[in-house]
A = this chain, B = another copy of it.
Amino acid sequence: MTETVVSSATKEVVIGFERPFVIIGERINPTGRKVLAAEMAAGDYSRVERDAVAQVEAGAHMLDVNAGIPLADEPAILAEAIKLVQSVTDVPLSIDSSIVDALKSGLAVYKGKALVNSVTGEEERLEVVLPLVAQYGAAVVAISNDETGISEDPDVRFAVAKKIVERAADFNISPSDIVVDPLVMPVGAINTAGRQVFKLISRLQRELKVNTTCGASNISFGLPNRNGVNGAFLSMAIHAGMTSAITNPLHREVVEACMGADIMMGHDPDCTRWIRRFRETPAPAGPDSSEPGGRQRRATRRRRNA
């Protein structure tokens, strides 16, 4: 029963097979957000602050922080953003960059045990990122692609994940500190993407015994009503064994899909978290209906006829 422990200065979050699903807020990422990118490059972190607070209020258990801005000083900006986010929230962070110097500067200022996002199966990444993860005693997201790119064959992606876990062991990084991202492809382009990734997630849990995460929103790329697609995907991925995701907690569908799945998996005993979150919401009802429960009505009727 693998558990990945990450922390801030004051708070611990555990990603695990028998734990509530961990939502990692994806919003602090300037890629595709021109206004945010311009503000961050100019040293204005007010939107970062608002995004951090809003995502935690909406249900994020961790936040991903990315500062990938073209031609900007990413290591400096990422460190600033991390310091700021840690000053306004107490959730653990995922330090997200493909530039090793940015990961270094982020880790240097981070308080707690971070999740480094990410290492791939590419040799040059393994050789520089894994020592860094080991040095800081961090956890790491392992993306299952390598020099040959992203394979459409789930067996190849499994093999890449296995290789990363084995290489990490050489640096004394435990499998419990590795969260594998099996890579979610857009289902609009690759119709088998859903079933494929569910199988891969199950196999990663069963055989490699690692926690998993993914960029969940990618599943719906190019489709209308993306939040609806994302919600269905998340509930099903949790049923398959996924234990965390980088996604957008500001969308009601996303939070309901994850928290509802927690109930179904038995990871929200007595539905305490669900009830706390939703008890203020008035129950939807038709013009002449108090309860929408079909089978419950049947049971009532049965007794009458018994």
Contact = CB atoms under 8 A, between A and B. Distances in A.
Interface stretch (A79-87, A204-212, A281-289): A281-289
A164 interface: no
Among A32, A270, A280, A290, which residue has the most Cβ atoms of chain B within 10 A?
A32
Interface stretch (A2-10, A106-114, A169-177, A250-258): A250-258
Interface in A88-105: 98-99
16 contacts: A27-B286, A29-B297, A31-B297, A31-B301, A32-B289, A32-B296, A33-B286, A33-B288, A34-B288, A195-B264, A198-B264, A225-B278, A228-B256, A229-B274, A236-B239, A251-B292
Contact of A264 (B218, B236, B261, B289): B236
A194 interface: yes
Given A195-B265, A288-B33, A217 B296 contact: yes
Contacts of A269: 191
A293 B235 contact: no
Nearest to A69: B301
Interface string A9-35: 000000000000000001101011111
Contacts of A294: 26, 29, 64, 215-218, 246-248
Contacts of A134: none
Contacts of A186: 296
A231 interface: yes
Identical chains bound together, number = 2
A300 B286 CA distance: 46
Contacts of A231: 231-232, 235, 256-257, 260
B31 A270 contact: no
A275 interface: yes
Contact of A289 (B33, B225, B238, B263): B33
Interface string A178-222: 000001101110011011001000000000000000111111110
Contacts of A275: 223-224
B33 A225 contact: no
Given A231-B260, A246-B295, 17 more contacts: A26-B294, A29-B294, A29-B297, A31-B300, A32-B290, A32-B291, A68-B304, A191-B266, A194-B263, A195-B265, A198-B239, A217-B296, A221-B296, A228-B256, A235-B235, A235-B257, A250-B286
